[in-house]
Structure 1
Amino acid sequence: MLILSILTAAIAPGVALLTYFYLKDRYDTEPVHMVVRVFLLGVLIVLPIMVIQRGLLLWWGDQPIVFAFVISSGVEEIIKWFVLYHIIYNHTEFDEPYDGIVYAVAISLGFATVENVLYAIYQPASFGSLLGRALLPVSGHALFGVTMGYYLGKAKFASAASRTRLFLLMSLSIPLLEHGVYDWIIGSGTTYWIWFMIPLMIYLWVKGLRKMNRANARSPFRMLLREEEVNL
């Protein structure tokens, strides 16, 4: 019974955050089955990511900067971006800028949820430690997803090919950099890491919420909804 409770506590943050970001889609919510499918893709990429990371660790060793920006954030963000670009980017359901955020958050939280479950199983996890992980790693993955999805949305609906390429590059490089800074702080070994982490998380949440509002504001369905309200 205790194991079931701990597993529930490990899964709940990812599901709750995904629900939150899904409900923030103001004008044309995505089909639930599509969001669940992308979440499950995040679950499925855990194994290949772990295999690649293990190989890179054996090759390069555990150097803090390399681990933070290449082995950890590099591998994870590149694979998430690759899956989103090849499966979701050209999908017919990706029809407004905010959709990029929904799907990027979904795949990120699928990955983060499995990571959290593995932590709960293989580490002496308490509810306090799982709460801490909900506030930091799980929400961190969601916010990296917001950044990735925001720029994927800008790339999808950019008016010029050059801007599309620029936003695609930003959709990978910026969340990778954010994730790398996060991992570097966690792995710094300093006893004062939390004093660096708190400003970073505040920055990520404030920036993430602003990007969500901007993506919603550029929805083509916003004007359609206003026209319908005027006609009524």
Structure 2
Amino acid sequence: MSILSLLIAAVAPGVALLSYFYLKDRYDPEPISFVLKLFFFGVLLVFPVMVLQRTLVQGLGDHPFVFSFLTSSLPEEFFKWFIVYFIIYKHTNFDEPYDGIVYAVAVSLGFATLENVLYAFLNDYDFTALLMRAFLPVSGHAMFGVMMGYHFGRAKFSSDRTSRHLAMAFWLPFFWHGVFDYTLFVSKNYWVWFMIPLMTFLWLRSLLKVKRANAKSPLRMATREERVKI
């Protein structure tokens, strides 16, 4: 593959998934500039996370369970959570529950996209390998972003249990990211039998969260009231 073709193949899955979840915002799509801003922050996260992960490997070793949960999942999901909470959570543009999903997915896919590009160029990946990464790591990051964003939305717009949902916005992606990585580690020769059911479950769960977040939009209620008046 040429360098340009390799770059396009590495970037395309993240852009496509971000577009998909952006267009799922049924009532008040977010400013594209803000979505791209969060995507860019996700890209920038790759470098400090890589340094931290290298340090953790040296200190904790590379046992599959330790690497999956403490070295890989913990720093990646924590820094994504940190960015969403401190950059956008209290912003006025975050004005309905589904916005949490859009912004968290943007951060997650920014991270996944640069990670995919680095893997492609450092490991001389071909198109087939990049296609597999689109279905697994890149898609997985999107699913973890949906979980995180859904609970950020619940935290901001629920009248109670705010702290609980803020905690779940971190702990659920952390847990499932760890499960994802650990499954790949321990089933290298027969991973397809485990990853297909896991990814199917994560996708169905994410689509349900998307539907629920849209259903809780105050803008949906306003639209319904306007129709009743008409």
TM-score of the superposed pair, with normalisation by structure 2: 0.98
Aligned-residue Cα RMSD (Å) equals 1.0
| 1:225 shift after superposition | 1.4
The correspondence for 1:219, drawn from 198, 207, 217, is 217
2:55 counterpart of 1:62 = no
The correspondence for 2:207, drawn from 203, 206, 209, is 209
Counterpart-to-counterpart distance in 2, 1:124 and 1:225: 51
Counterpart-to-counterpart distance in 2, 1:94 and 1:190: 41
Once superposed, which parts of structure 1, at least 4 consecutive aligned residues long, lie more than 2 Å away?
Answer: 227-232
Aligned AA for 1:45? L
Identity of aligned residues (%): 60
Aligned AA for 1:28? D
| 1:73 shift after superposition | 0.5
| 1:224 shift after superposition | 1.1
Aligned to 1:177: 175
Aligned AA for 1:2? S
Aligned AA for 1:99? D
Aligned to 2:39: 39
Unaligned runs of 5+ in 2: none
| Stretch of structure 1 that moved more, 145-154 or 185-194 | 185-194
1:134-213 maps to which residues of 2 (within 5 A)? 134-160=134-160, 163-213=161-211
Counterpart-to-counterpart distance in 1, 2:171 and 2:111: 19
| 1:124 shift after superposition | 2.0
Aligned to 1:131: 131
Deviation sequence 1:41-63 (CA, Å, 0-9, x none)? 00011101001101111111111
Counterpart-to-counterpart distance in 2, 1:123 and 1:98: 37
Counterpart-to-counterpart distance in 2, 1:36 and 1:191: 38
Unaligned runs of 5+ in 1: none
Counterpart-to-counterpart distance in 2, 1:16 and 1:167: 28
| 1:229 shift after superposition | 2.9
Aligned residues: 230
